[in-house]
Structure 1
Amino acid sequence: MNITTRLKMMSFMQYFIWGSWLVTLGSYMINTLHFTGSDVGLVYSSKGLAAIVMPSLVGIIADKWLRADRAYMICHLVCAVALCYAAHVNEPGLMFWVMLVNAMAFMPTIALSNTISYSCLEQAGLDTVSHFPPVRVYGTVGFIVAMWAISLMGVELSNVQLYIAAGASLVLALYSLTLPNIPVVKSKSAPTLASKLGLNAFVLFRQPRMAVFFLFAMLLGAVLQITNTFGSPFLHDFARNPEYADSFIVKYPSILLSVSQMSEVFFILTIPFFLKRFGIKTVMLMSMVAWMLRFGLFAFGDPSAVGFVLLMLSMIVYGCAFDFFNISGSVFVEQEVTPDIRASAQGLFMTMVNGVGAYVGSILSGMAVDYFSVDGVKDWQTIWLVFAAYALILAVVFFLCFNYRHAGKNNTLRTATH
């Protein structure tokens, strides 16, 4: 079996684990364990807290002391134990701590899987630029397959999803033993701790434009967490209406939600065109408008014929909403900073989106859901309209505050002036 096939299998399992519970755990906690929206937000905030520091810390260990493939194996073993234990938890506070342990082990594996892939491709003499994307896309496939499996098996409201994720983590840990060795980097001029943690990139906050960009990256990261946390519980709640209790959406909500990931694949391919043609400001504004549409369509969607079309449109615009700020934002950072802080600037961007933004989004969205709930019944239309208004306000303020002039479609992504 060639190395690209082996790496595709690794990528598939990496995101299969995440897809097994990320979208559906909220429904399990609300409908089966009877957690409140704030409880669910707290549990999901563990991912954001872990993403602030753990990927960088584990990266240091993998760079200096422990081979990346071995660190990867250990992390997934910890994930397997934590997820298996989480399946027995029925108390919000304990669930937070168990899922925090899982997140502290899992979040570093995202970066480690990329490191392993790049290293193995280089060892095989393959061009990483052309060979890595086909490897990574199998991760998206794995995420979608997991969502379909959890839905078709009828375990979205069961702790079985956690057992499946735990089993997949164990399998991936064992599978990582078969991967090529990833040598520890030995260099006399090793990067400093500050560099590894991305601290030297904070100099970018001295530039008003970049400070505004990173602030809105954080605020958009919060938006992403909202849909990850409460998209599935929203669809499950249609079961309260006898007219919709046996509908496809109620029975298989994860299958519908998986259309969002399918949409991502398409919109990723359009990013180079839109960035070159319109520039980062317009592309980010398009993302914010897409988030507004995502939530607005949720507000008026339901399992009826017309409502289903609205929900499907919401899934499709998700690809634009996610890709046009997450991936385009990363490209913008890459183009705007000097080479000596490029890596740490990327780390700062991911920390703002998946760390601080994810944490803030989890906590505040949980509070909002509880605020618009009466006796456990959630006013989803109002909730989604509030989130849509939030995205619209972000778009207006971003348009007014972000000082950017696109150089033109035939030039690079850099602005005309810095």
Structure 2
Amino acid sequence: MRGIRTQYVLAYAVIGSIGPFLPIYLSREQGLSDPQIGFVVGLSGFAIIVAPIFLTRFADLGVPTRRLLAGSFAIGGAALWGMSHSTGFALVALLFGLHSLAYQPIMSVQDGLFFQGRAAGLSGDTPFHRVRVWGTVGFIIPSLALYFLVERAGSTQAIIVAAVLACALGVANTWRLPPITGVAATSPVGRPVATRAAIRALMAKRIRWFVLAMLLANISNGLWFTFYPLWLTDSVGIGEEWAGIVFNVGVVVEIGWMLAFGALLGLVGFRRLVVLGMAAQVVRLLLLAFVPTVGIALGTQLVHGLVIVTVAVAPQIYLDRRASDEFRASMQGVYATAVLGGGRMTGSLLAGQLAGYGDIALFGTGALLALLSAILLLTTESAMPAERPESRE
């Protein structure tokens, strides 16, 4: 289990290195326009659509998960290093797309690794959110260090060095992971078409409306994520080096939300918790749209963790409870493809087109989508049960 925890730390350290600064880097260091920034950031969503379903399928078929993770870290780090030595929209987009194709599947594969390990009895009754919280810790570490590096250098080039270092450590850590292979390889029914089974399960009556609501939620979050760093520097007027610190206000508070996740589920149930997260997203985005101040930048980060557990933790647990062993990993991969990837890509591309019309158009659209997601969850009985899960979740 220690190896899996470290895996989450290093995987999210890559995001913590580039995530808070990427739009700034693309604008300042590479000279890209708003639509081009939206396109490049959206490639990470496209990668989620294309790659995870195949990699998690490999896991289901018996390919050692740690080999998949090692290859993803190695290729992703090499592509980032190449991007830092390149210029021009086409080449930057190509290399960042390669990085995203290699790196983004790590999230769904390691989620599948955890759930498979727990099903095999390797982690006892450890709840998912208590392992996922180590990803939050991993996000914080590089962002704090980069404050000093970016301030001293006067540019955001250092973010690439930090991300490549995290990728290298990620390769090394894969040797500490348990040698788990996909359960489908030893299934008594042979090798079922796990991906098709996962798609059928996601389209079932009691799940499909939940999937649509989460798609809207992820589009909304993509609109926020793509231009929030540039909103901090251009609309609020803070220095580039502060972007990571402001992000980390939300990330530090996110730890509390993660640790309280099980208690919140037990108190209000799945559906009400997700609706609460969407309500927080609506309020946050409306404040960003109409009140671009330092106080709002910091204050709205207090609910960032609630939004994250809504879109990145609760759905995985909900779906795992409805997956069979034959397609457990593939169900996470199909969901990541359709909802996380489709939502992020659509949100980023839409953000690139809306950014030129101002903050109200950009963040107001995101607020509307979050509101529609909440309404769908509240008014569609089959969207998500109001049940309270077992305490271990």
TM-score bracket for the superposition, by shorter chain length: 0.7 to 0.9
The correspondence of residues 14-413 of structure 1 with structure 2, limited to 5 A, is 14-62=11-59, 64=61, 66-114=63-111, 127-130=123-126, 134-154=130-150, 157-177=155-175, 179=176, 182=179, 184=181, 187=186, 189=188, 192=191, 194-195=193-194, 197=195, 199-207=197-205, 209-238=206-235, 244=237, 251-302=241-292, 307-335=293-321, 344-370=330-356, 372=357, 379-403=358-382
Q: What are the superposed Cα offsets for residues 350-369 of structure 1, whole Å, 9 maximum, x if unpaired?
A: 32332211111111111111
C-alpha separation in 1, matches of 2:384 and 2:80: 47
Structure 2's unaligned 5+ residue stretches are none
Amino acid in structure 2 at the alignment position of 1:25: L
C-alpha separation in 2, matches of 1:79 and 1:17: 10
- Residue 266 to residue 191, structure 1, CA distance change in 2 (3 Å): farther
CA contact (8 A) 1:67 1:181 kept: no
Q: What are the superposed Cα offsets for residues 318-360 of structure 1, whole Å, 9 maximum, x if unpaired?
A: 1112212432233333445677665544433332332211111
SS, match of residue 75 in structure 1: helix
Deviation (angstroms), 1:37: 1.8
Using the TM superposition, name which of 31-40 and 383-392 deviates more. 383-392
Amino acid in structure 2 at the alignment position of 1:29: L
CA contact (8 A) 1:24 1:156 kept: no
Q: TM-score scaled by structure 2?
A: 0.84
CA contact (8 A) 2:288 2:297 kept: yes
Q: Which has the larger radius of gyration?
A: 1
Deviation (angstroms), 1:391: 2.5
- Residue 114 to residue 403, structure 1, CA distance change in 2 (3 Å): closer
SS, match of residue 51 in structure 2: helix
C-alpha separation in 1, matches of 2:88 and 2:192: 38
Deviation (angstroms), 1:206: 4.9
Deviation (angstroms), 1:115: 5.7
Amino acid in structure 1 at the alignment position of 2:378: F
Q: What are the superposed Cα offsets for residues 162-221 of structure 1, whole Å, 9 maximum, x if unpaired?
A: 2321232123323434x26616565264764631x35543354252x5322111111111
Amino acid in structure 2 at the alignment position of 1:18: I
Amino acid in structure 2 at the alignment position of 1:86: M
CA contact (8 A) 1:218 1:357 kept: yes
Amino acid in structure 2 at the alignment position of 1:390: L
- Residue 384 to residue 115, structure 1, CA distance change in 2 (3 Å): closer
- Residue 225 to residue 190, structure 1, CA distance change in 2 (3 Å): farther
CA contact (8 A) 1:86 1:99 kept: yes
Residue number in structure 2 paired with 1:375:
none
CA contact (8 A) 2:16 2:142 kept: yes
SS, match of residue 23 in structure 1: coil
- Residue 293 to residue 157, structure 1, CA distance change in 2 (3 Å): farther
CA contact (8 A) 1:281 1:402 kept: no
| Alignment: residue pair count | 387
CA contact (8 A) 1:261 1:319 kept: yes
Amino acid in structure 2 at the alignment position of 1:354: L
Using the TM superposition, name which of 149-158 and 183-192 deviates more. 183-192
C-alpha separation in 1, matches of 2:30 and 2:247: 22
